[in-house]
Amino acid sequence: MTRMTRFTKGHGTENDFVLVPDLEGTLELTPAQVQRLADRHAGLGGDGVIRVVRTEHAVDDSVRALAPAAEWFMDYRNADGSLAEMCGNGTRVFAAYLRREGLVTGDSFTIATRAGVKTIRVTPQGYAVNLGPWRLTDEEGARRDGFDIMVRPHHGKPVPALSLDLGNPHAVVMLPEGIALENLDLTEAPEIHPAPTGGANVEFVRPVGPGHISMRVHERGVGETRSCGTGAAAAALATRFWSGVEDDRPWTVDVPGGRLTVTPLPGQCVELAGPAELVADGDVTL
């Protein structure tokens, strides 16, 4: 049975999403429907799909338990239809939608994700979100060796990487001299050894200057994207770790789709800031 539903298209530094309002939780998005919505040739096109729903109507008990702290749940799906814990750029687009629709008021508010409650604040450039706690996946190995896994890009050689958990998994590679960021082949997923159980986003980083890096990313379940918010945070935190100066200065992260700011916060937390734009509204048949 098909049904017509409203949608909004938005992006954060060209990491783009289809938002589907389902405020009372009556729509069960299937992986196949998500794939059709995200399809860039036969659908609306996007790196992911976000269902906008009251937290009290979430399917997962662990998410519904967050309802007292956050009225709205960002039900995020990767373009291949798989569920994801959260999406950093997606939180800002989600926030822009909530504010435009009058579903939240004020310059600071909370949202629920599968990675917990996130606090968002309005900034002159857009929105900033406290992504919450992060950690080195294997801190002992990382501090001993400087890395804990190996990554092999498509048509490339294995290079050391640092794995981080920001509510979703990441592997960050500092490109060695002689390998240009723009020449990487990210048409296929890089190989990770040892392979994480649920896969990982892989960020390739090149230093630009003090507190300033550029990166490209291959997202699990999507492919290469123009930006990845949690990936930008992971890349900045990994570079900060490698620098040996783990202070709280903000980092500038250039991605193909624009520029983001990553700021380490007290309590092993991190904030991501950048723009968010809503570009189209319409109806679509599911």
Q: Which residues are catalytic?
A: 87, 228
Q: What dihedral do alpha carbons 209, 170, 276, 68 form, nearest 10°? A: -130
Do 12 and 276 meet the contact criterion of CB atoms below 8 Å apart? yes
Do 34 and 46 meet the contact criterion of CB atoms below 8 Å apart? no
- Three-state secondary structure call for residue 138: coil
Tokens coding 59: 């399917």
CA 169 to chain CA centroid, nearest Å: 10
> 215 - beta bridge partners?
205
Q: How many residues does the chain have?
A: 286
Strands 4-12 and 277-285: antiparallel
Backbone φ and ψ of 141, nearest 5° = -65, -40
Strands 201-209 and 169-174: parallel
Query: What stretch of H or E contains 44?
Result: none
Do 111 and 126 meet the contact criterion of CB atoms below 8 Å apart? no
